[in-house]
Amino acid sequence: MSRPLTGRTRLADRPLPRVTVETGPTVPGWALRVALGAAAALLLAGAGARTEELSTLLVVPVSLALVTLLVVRPRPAVVGVVLVASGVLLLGSSLAPFDPWALVLAPLAYLVTRLAWWADHVTSSAHAERAALAAWWRRDAVVVAGTLGLGAIALVASGASVAVGVLVGGIALVLLASLVLQGQDGRV
């Protein structure tokens, strides 16, 4: 038996508040995936171009499969596989263990990682606001510029011994890690 409430109004009888939301310019989710595919293909092509020991008949189909998988399922594990594959391709270089082009390709790998994060969080049919995409652009620009600068120095010094290249690469990795982790609070 239900009793009517006296002196109080029921929650269902109250009018809902009116909410107005405005968004800035947006980017469609499918465009993020297209950009991700292009950046990943460019990364693997750049790393594959440095490889002399692997056949093109092996590198191209594997790279296409990895790019397709990354575009369809942009998960962190798939991004890791693509980055490791590009590293393995660089190991086939005549300048291995340190190929100065690794520092030139590092910003591209960083871009692939960032695009994959966004593509994973924004579905193909959704939109992401440009302001949200550009929230960390200063930090990203510093990381990319620093790495490209060290890559340019490494390319100029590539006539030096491998020990010098490993030293420059180590310094680059320490600087890159400190720039990325500076200001992070542990959240992705």
Domain, as residue range, for 48: 25-181
Return the closest-CA partner of residue 34 out of 79, 82, 74, 65: 74
Asked if the structure places residue 4 within a domain, the reply is no
Asked if the structure places residue 10 within a domain, the reply is no
Contacts of 175 (CB under 8 A, 6+ apart): 146, 150
This prediction has a pTM of 0.69
| Domains contained in the chain, number | 1
Asked if the structure places residue 157 within a domain, the reply is yes
DSSP 3-state percent helix, strand, coil across the chain (nearest 5) = 65, 5, 30
**How confident is the prediction along the chain (188 residues), in pLDDT tens digits per residue?**
565 555 555 666 778 888 888 888 999 999 999 999 999 999 999 888 877 766 777 888 899 999 999 999 999 899 999 999 988 888 877 766 677 777 778 888 988 998 999 999 999 999 999 888 888 777 777 777 777 777 777 767 766 555 555 666 666 666 666 666 665 544 54
